[in-house]
Structure 1
Amino acid sequence: MTINNHFAMEIIHQLNNELLKPASDGMPVCPDELNYFKNIARSYACTEQAIAVLSDMHTDTSYIYYGKFAETLGLKEDNKTERIYSIWEEKILQLIHPDDLNSKYLQELRFFHFVRKQPKDKQSSFFLMNKLRMKNLAGNYIWVLHRLFYIAMSPTSNNLWLALCLYNPLLFDISAKGIVANAVSGQTIELKDDNDLNILSRRERQVLQLISQGRTSKDIADELYISINTVNRHRQDILNKLQVRNSIEACRIAKEMKII
């Protein structure tokens, strides 16, 4: 299985638009800072025997560190470290059950919107954890714990810079599809479908619902007693917030997220 599911590709496109943003001044990040976070990822791989993936959003590059758990999945690497020119670790992602892969992308999108609403100095305190089925060396699906941390913002802009993904054996069950944990307070928050309602305003949801019914901008303006210009502004705001290219994609993503 490769990443060719249409819905998954739409979510990836949306996440790319949200995540892949260079530093605002175009200056490269100090290598010492990057090396500091590389060492953190390497430490997780060594101490937890995890697969650790450090993704650099400014350069669309990932650094993968293979702990011994990688051997269970048939991903043993002689040098235990790999650099790829993408924030999507396809060699790992292709082992995930297709249903769980779609869910993973959806939860990551929800988590991104959740983190973006937090104070900047608190954002790195939160992480997402969910369970996935992944193929092991024998070709059987086993349960795996996946964790996602947004560990660093750009020192030169307000954009996300580094994300860290960890893959370990699932040692305890997680009932929810996605749980956000605060590593400082210990508080946990279940990412439910109703969390998605905050992504769009009430009026934007109304407009998108009518768009999904095939209504024209004039029809929507008459229905909601607003101008066509206002409808068109709502249309553009919806595309920007969902980071999609057209209304068809917006409707499909919104229905999957139960926004409409």
Structure 2
Amino acid sequence: MDIVSKLNRELLEQDFLKEQPASDELFRYKEIARHYACMEKSIAVLSDMRTNTSYIYYGGFSKTLGIEHADREGVVYSIWEESILKLIHPDDLHSKYLQELRFFHFMKRQPVGKRFDYYLMNKLRMKNAAGNYLPVLHRLYYMAVLPGSNNLWLALCLYNPLLFDISGKGVVVNAVTGQMNELESNQDSGILSEREKQILRLIDQGMTSRDIAETLCISIHTVSRHRQEILGKLQVRNSIEACRIARDLKIIL
């Protein structure tokens, strides 16, 4: 899906430092994920954005979904846990990706010292072992930044049965205060600058970089730089995908 490409660019192409984190630091967070799976019977997925690797811990809920794993732990060389994601209703999966992109930008706007006060909570429909959809609670936590960097390094996703309904499709929870706020679509407009939105609208109209440069009285080099910024912020590979995702997010109409 295009939104996956966009998320890949946002999450995996952060400017991580070349230094590797201490091995005991990653081990500590893997143990946290393992304990969530054990205590809450969750499926817990710890994703390392620096190495594009996920560590999956299969709590008791995995049996309900028909994905029980004999080793209780799996490693996937991707931040996308396909064996789990394929069970999500297609409509909910697309919404999940959009909410995660919004949450990523929400987190990037927060002061570094406050980022880990928040997590994303949303409801999904997932197929159980019998092939029927059941309501599931999904939570996303950004766990850590890479030492010496302000970039988000580790993310933890938890999947549990939905025991209570939540308003909206995506809710940001402040775990310190208990305050909950929906991720409103009007927040999407801040992902791109006004100039980037202007250029993307012209791209959507079929204009070339030279046409855009002449229309806006700027250099082709400047247009090219803005195009690359747009692709990076929307986490897509080309302008066609950028326009499609921007329409999904109501950044352009």
| TM norm structure 1 | 0.89
Spell out the pairing of 1:32-181 with structure 2 (5 A cutoff). 32-181=24-173
SS at match of 2:158: strand
* Matches of 2:84 and 2:175, distance apart in 1: 26
| Residue type at the aligned position of 2:94 | N
Unaligned ranges ≥5, structure 2:
none
Shift of 1:231: 3.8
The 1:65–1:232 alpha-carbon spacing in structure 2 relative to 1, beyond 3 Å, is closer
Q: Are 1:20 and 2:4 an aligned pair?
A: no
SS at match of 2:227: helix
Spell out the pairing of 1:196-215 with structure 2 (5 A cutoff). 196-215=188-207
Shift of 1:175: 2.4
- Which digits, 9 at most, give the CA deviation of each residue in 1:176-196, with x for residues without a partner? 111111111222221121111
Match of 2:175 in 1: 183
* Matches of 1:24 and 1:110, distance apart in 2: 21
Residue range with higher mean Cα deviation, 65-74 or 240-249:
240-249
* Matches of 2:170 and 2:230, distance apart in 1: 24
Check whether the contact 2:33–2:44 (CA below 8 A) recurs between aligned residues. Answer: yes
> Higher relative contact order by CA 8 Å / sep ≥ 6: 1 or 2?
2
Check whether the contact 2:44–2:159 (CA below 8 A) recurs between aligned residues. Answer: yes
* Matches of 1:204 and 1:22, distance apart in 2: 20
Shift of 1:226: 5.0
Residue range with higher mean Cα deviation, 139-148 or 26-35:
26-35
Unaligned ranges ≥5, structure 1:
1-7
Structure 1 segments (4+ residues) deviating >4 Å = 21-25, 221-230
Q: Are 1:239 and 2:197 an aligned pair?
A: no
* Matches of 1:33 and 1:233, distance apart in 2: 37
Query: What is the identity percentage for the equivalent residue pairs of Structure 1 and Structure 2?
Result: 64
| TM norm structure 2 | 0.91
Shift of 1:168: 0.5
Length, aligned pairs only: 252
Check whether the contact 1:23–1:58 (CA below 8 A) recurs between aligned residues. Answer: no
- Which digits, 9 at most, give the CA deviation of each residue in 1:74-99, with x for residues without a partner? 11122322222221111111111111
Please tell me the root mean square deviation across aligned C-alpha atoms, in Å. Answer: 2.0
The 1:17–1:232 alpha-carbon spacing in structure 2 relative to 1, beyond 3 Å, is closer
* Matches of 2:8 and 2:130, distance apart in 1: 33
